[in-house]
Amino acid sequence: MQVFICWIYYLPVQFHCRFLFFFFFPFNFSFFLIFLSSDHILHNWVKRAISGTYRLVFEVKKLTQLSSPFDMEVLAAAASAGAVETYKDVRNAVDSLDELRDYEKNLDKNYEKLKDEAKKLYARRSDLLVKINRDRTKQTTEECNVWMGKVKKLEKDVLALESEYEEEKRYQFKLLRLLPRSNLSKCMVEKRIDIQSCWSEGSNFVTDFLVERSAKPIKKLKAPKIKDMPSLYVIFEDILQCLKDSCVTRIGLWGRVGVGKTTIMQNLNDSEEISKLFDIVFYVNLADEGNEEKLQERVQHQIAQKLQLNSLQDRTDTKTIASRVSEKLESMRFLLLLDDVWGPFDLDDCGISENGRDSKIVIASRHRGHCREMGVDHLIRVSRLSNDEAWNLFQERLGRTLNSEFKALGLQVIEECDNLPLLIDKVARAFRRKDNILLWEAGLNKLRIWPCTKCDGMDDVFDLLRFCYEELDEDEKFCFLYGALYTEAYEICIKYLLEC
């Protein structure tokens, strides 16, 4: 047997190409092989072929040096067996090369097939989401959630393959891209098989993929009842309908200070009906006027706390927190209630973004422009209470029904409060202590004498709050001033107030 081997390294190192020539004269067989060092299967076959050929040459050389007929027969048999093994190894290397060439040649076809199968899978998911969104009182089964997660992962994989394909099209010399192109084509075939399997699994969710949504435990805020205040309750109902509308994602609630925005937001948080529509409800009060960074930080930490991401509580890296929050909310239908927003900021930087689960965000602010800058789809204005609503609220907070002697003064007090629920509530509590007409007249006069303090959105509030302050006794004033040192919505320990 005559065997000749030539192994030449191609000079440009960046291509890592090796040229192998095998000439087997008895088999009248020759071929030219190019492969990359990263192709382990083909590389191993060729290594075995080369190694076997070297052993074969060595055995032939020894055979020519022997004189004993018996030894020559044994070595001849060994050389023959080695030749057979070497041929098999070379044949396998050729088959591997043919497979690579087939994958490379069908790259474009495999890409189109992958896109077609992916479209079918996405269509099945879209049909399923339509059925899910028809009934907000039900939730998907855990099995369905797992399938949805699998589809999302496959979608990311397909996008990555599409990106690789577009990058590969930029190269002009396809011969030098044999292995990358064949590997990409092979990955597309394997991913198409995974997609077909996932599509078949989706047929299990034609029916019986929804179960009754259990009401989640609510951390109630003890919100004032608004069913007796039609002007506020109508807005509450309007927001509730928007939460059921798949076309509305962000809702803006705006109006002057004290008009009842926080009351509405707290009622949304405490609603049992709303808790059945969502997997989780967040209520975040952003009462402090601060820069965008501080607003984002507060939102992130309060959401992380409710999601029980305890390991992030002491972290200051906003990007890390946002990534974890986004990952946790990815499979949840959530409702985020942002109350008293003083300025616009980017919720995406907080990890709050559209997750394809029909999640909602409600933003309450004194300024309509802030709501618009935060991208609301539906804007609702909260106006003052009607005269009847204001009068009913005043009597409710007063704790008694007024007779005709006090009613005239009571109506004047409500007028001074400008029919604002916040002011009516505070002033009515101050008038509880006044049990004769003279004290009521004195209290009304005090309401009228305070000079106006200019402050954005607070012109109608400061003088009336000062009146409430003057009605306190000295110890109560001290506690009030101590509490004023804390920011709004801060939880103050009652024990500390008692000690002061």
Which 3-state string (H, E, C) describes the chain? CCEEEEEEECCCHHHCEEEEEEEECCCCEEEEEEEECCCHHHHHHHHHHHHHHHHHHHHHHHHHHCCCHHHHHHHHHHHHHHHHHHHHHHHHHHHHHHHHHHHHHCHHHHHHHHHHHHHHHHHHHHHHHHHHHHCCCEEECHHHHHHHHHHHHHHHHHHHHHHHHHHHCCCCCCHHHHHHHHHHHHHHHHHHHHHHHHHHHHHHHCCCCEEECCCCCCCCCCCCCCCCCHHHHHHHHHHHHHHCCCCCCEEEEECCCCCCHHHHHHHHHHCHHHHHHCCEEEEEECCCCCCHHHHHHHHHHHHHHHCCCHHHCCCCCHHHHHHHHHHHHCCCCEEEEEECCCCCCCHHHHCCCCCCCCCEEEEEECCHHHHHHCCCCEEEECCCCCHHHHHHHHHHHHCCCCCHHHHHHHHHHHHHCCCCHHHHHHHHHHHCCCCCHHHHHHHHHHHHHCCCCCCCCCCCCHHHHHHHHHCCCHHHHHHHHHHHCCCCCCCCCHHHHHHC
The angle that helices 387-398 and 421-431 make with each other, rounded to 10 degrees, is: 40
Compute the average pLDDT of residues 9-35: 37
pLDDT score of 37 more than 60: no
Higher pLDDT, 198 or 228: 198
Residue pair 18/49 in contact (Cβ under 8 Å)? The answer is no
Residue pair 275/218 in contact (Cβ under 8 Å)? The answer is yes
Q: What is the percent of the chain with per-residue pLDDT over 90, rounded to a whole number?
A: 21
pLDDT score of 345 more than 80: yes
Compute the average pLDDT of residues 456-473: 62
Average pLDDT, the chain: 76
pLDDT score of 173 more than 70: no
What pLDDT, in 10s, does the model give residues 271-305?
A: 988 888 888 899 998 876 567 777 888 888 888 88
pLDDT for 62 equals 53
Q: Given pLDDT bands bounded at 50, 70 and 90, which one contains residue 265?
A: very high
The encoded tokens of residue 273 equal 């009906």
pLDDT score of 13 more than 50: no
Give the whole-angstrom CA distance, residue 144 versus residue 140: 6
What pLDDT, in 10s, does the model give residues 83-122?
A: 556 555 555 655 566 777 888 888 899 999 999 999 999 9
Q: Is 457 left (phi over 0), alpha (psi -120 to 50) or beta?
A: left
Residue pair 390/419 in contact (Cβ under 8 Å)? The answer is yes
How crowded is residue 285: how many other Cβ atoms within 10 Å of its Cβ?
Answer: 21
Q: Where do the structural domains in the chain lie, given as residue ranges?
A: 42-93, 103-212, 230-381, 387-498
pLDDT for 489 equals 58
pLDDT score of 233 more than 80: yes
Give the whole-angstrom CA distance, residue 181 versus residue 165: 9
Beta bridge partners of 19: 8, 34
Q: Is 317 left (phi over 0), alpha (psi -120 to 50) or beta?
A: beta
Compute the average pLDDT of residues 328-345: 88
The encoded tokens of residue 202 equal 């989706």
What pLDDT, in 10s, does the model give residues 400-412?
A: 888 878 888 888 8
pLDDT score of 203 more than 80: yes
pLDDT for 137 equals 64
pLDDT for 34 equals 40
pLDDT for 261 equals 92
Distance set, CA 319 to CA 153, 350, 351 (Å): 22, 8, 8
Q: What is the percent of the chain with per-residue pLDDT over 70, rounded to a whole number?
A: 68
Those residues with Cβ within 8 angstroms of residue 93's Cβ, 6 or more apart along the chain or in another chain: 33, 42, 45, 46, 49
Give the whole-angstrom CA distance, residue 163 versus residue 185: 13
Give the whole-angstrom CA distance, residue 198 versus residue 149: 11
The encoded tokens of residue 373 equal 């800058």
pLDDT for 407 equals 87
pLDDT score of 340 more than 50: yes
Domain 230-381 CATH (choose: 3.20.20.70, 3.40.50.10140, 3.40.50.1370, 3.40.50.300):
3.40.50.300
Distance set, CA 63 to CA 67, 71, 87, 289 (Å): 9, 8, 20, 95
Higher pLDDT, 246 or 338: 338
Give the whole-angstrom CA distance, residue 286 versus residue 295: 7
Q: Name which of 83-97, 126-140, 143-157 the model is least confident about.
A: 83-97
Give the whole-angstrom CA distance, residue 358 versus residue 354: 8
pLDDT for 118 equals 94
pLDDT for 1 equals 36
Q: Given pLDDT bands bounded at 50, 70 and 90, which one contains residue 372?
A: very high
